[in-house]
Structure 1
Amino acid sequence: MILGPDQEQNVIEILSALSTPVVLTIHSDHWDTPGSLAAQDLIDYTVSLMPGKISRELARSGAGSWGDPTLTIRNRDGQVFGVHFVGTPSGLEYRAFIDAIVASSRPYEIESTPWGQLLQEIHHPVHAKIFVSPT
């Protein structure tokens, strides 16, 4: 058990809001490192809290530019939710991870804001990395 009984029950209640199944994918090229092993343990634990709605898979990295391991969330339609977790989302990041799982299970629709039109006006390569930390 990674969480205490009260915390675990709270996470189960949050995960009960999953509207469709999701797949948590661990991307790594080094499965026996402490980071990858910790990520696998945390993902397996999370899957055990909602086994009918959450599953996991392992994948060779391809996410090497992000970090090893990297976690992604895919909905039932195969769409990868736009958030990548580099390393193990433990501690304060675990709540954000749980929220991302729930959000990714919802139907994904593009907003009515004309972002596509605005993005087409960009005529040079753009690379954005956004890092968020709760501390």
Structure 2
Amino acid sequence: MKSIHARALAMATLILATFSNAWSQPGQTGSVPSGAPAASAAEAGGAAPVSARKANRTLRRQVYAAIGKHKEISAGNISVIAKGGAVTLSGTVTDASQVNQVAEIAKGVPGVTSVTNKLTVQKPFGGM
């Protein structure tokens, strides 16, 4: 009975070791390439990704705020993704004219370098 428990524990340890190695492969955020000096490793995984994420969140909020200023647009079904100045709009709007209007609003936000518009028109319930 003890040998079965020992084997199960050994297998669990092996599985955990395998999965932990899969998460720490080179090229992943926060990992240090083998042979890299400690100083450059701190620079590579340090504040740059955190500040980039913060800037992306800020830009995303600014785009939402700009869309929200237009009361005729229901922004509840619009998703905004910002990455390095590139904004992707997806979701639905109630009128076909709003598809381009929302894209133009997003382009007018300072810091937006490009807009990918994936918005569609929401079809009414029971209609075609």
TM-score bracket relative to the smaller structure: under 0.3
TM-score with structure 1 setting the length = 0.24
Scaled by the length of structure 2, the TM-score of the pair is 0.25
Task: Name the structure, 1 or 2, with higher relative contact order (CA <8 Å, separation 6+).
Answer: 1
* Larger proportion of helix: 2
